[in-house]
Amino acid sequence: MARTAKNLAQGQLAASTGAIYTAPAGTTVIVTGITLTNSDDASAFTANLYFVENGSAAADAKLFLNDKSLAAKETVDLATLPILDAGDAIHGDASSASKINYLLSGVLVT
């Protein structure tokens, strides 16, 4: 089995829930890091992250980070990280669009 470490995804959470990373076909992805940063200078915002199994509707997503409040300029590294099979996804949203930056890193196993 080949293992490739890489940054999986980066961006900003939207105010509505959407996919931020989907495991590619033919892989298992071991997520090794999720970092969230509040880019705002003055206000706190909250973030939610969800695990969506391949073939499941977004409505059936399993919440694994619930209303995590990040103070202005705060960064958090999550300790609870999912393992994704092909087609599994991580979705996310924030209390305000374009305020919470995310970075996912992991290992792709093929």
pLDDT digits (tens, 9 = 90+) for 24-42: 999 999 999 999 999 999 9
Task: Tell me what the mean pLDDT of segment 73-94 comes to.
Answer: 95
d(CA 65, CA 68): 6
Does 97 score more than 90 pLDDT? yes
Could you tell me the residue ranges of all domains in the chain? 3-109
- 12, with CB counted inside 10 A (0-12, 13-18, 19+), is middle
Q: Which CATH architecture has domain 3-109?
A: Sandwich (2.60)
| Token pair listed for 4 | 């490739």
Q: Model-level pTM?
A: 0.93
Residue 96, CA distances (Å) to 8, 21, 49, 69 in order: 23, 20, 14, 12
The residue written with tokens 């509505």 in the block is 16
The bridge status of strand 62-70 relative to strand 45-52 is antiparallel
pLDDT of residue 17: 95
pLDDT of residue 90: 97
